[in-house]
Amino acid sequence: LAKTTQPISMDSYEGQEVNITCSHNNIATNDYITWYQQFPSQGPRFIIQGYKTKVTNEVASLFIPADRKSSTLSLPRVSLSDTAVYYCLVGDYSSASKIIFGSGTRLSIRP
C-alpha cells in the first residue's frame, strides 16, 4: 500500500509560486501520481497526473524524480482562490483498496 506523506499546512502570498512535496517511498511500478484540490463542502477536483519526469498543464506542474519516491506540485503565481486542501494520491485503480488520499496539505494564501 503506497502511503503518502505531505505537510499538514502551508502559507504563502498572492503572486508567489508554491511548491508542495509529497513523499511516497513504497510506490509501485503501476502506480500513477495524481494531485487533487478540494474546497470546503465540495468534492476533490483533479489538478494534474503523472508517472515520471515532468508534467505541465494550464494550472500546475508536477515534478517527479527518477526514483519516483516523491513528487512536487508547483502552483505558479497563486491567488486567494487557491486556498484549499491539496491531496497527493499514489495508486492505480486496479485495486480499490490501494486508493487512499491521505490527510492532504491545507494551503492558505494571504493578500
Partner 1 sequence: DAGVIQSPRHEVTEMGQEVTLRCKPISGHDYLFWYRQTMMRGLELLIYFNNNVPIDDSGMPEDRFSAKMPNASFSTLKIQPSEPRDSAVYFCASSLSGQDQETQYFGPGTRLLVL
By CB under 8 A, name the binding residues for partner 1: 32, 34, 41-46, 49, 87, 89, 92-97, 99-104
Give whichever of 25 and 57 is closer to partner 1, judged by the CB atom.
57
Q: Which is nearer to partner 1, 37 or 70 (CB)?
A: 37
91 torsion bin: left (phi>0), alpha (psi -120 to 50), beta (else)? left
Q: How far is the CB of 13 from partner 1 (least distance, A)?
A: 28
What's the CA angle centered on 32, arms 26 and 35, to 5 degrees?
Answer: 100
Of 36 and 82, the one with the shorter C-beta distance to partner 1 is: 36
Nearest distance from C-beta of residue 38 to partner 1, angstroms: 8
- Nearer to partner 1 (CB atom), residue 95 or residue 108: 95
User: Element (H or E) spanning 61, and its range?
Assistant: strand 61-64
Q: Are 4 and 102 in contact (CB under 8 A)?
A: yes
- Exposed / middle / buried, residue 21 (Cβ in 10 Å: 0-12, 13-18, 19+): middle
Distance of closest approach, residue 75 Cβ to partner 1, in angstroms: 17
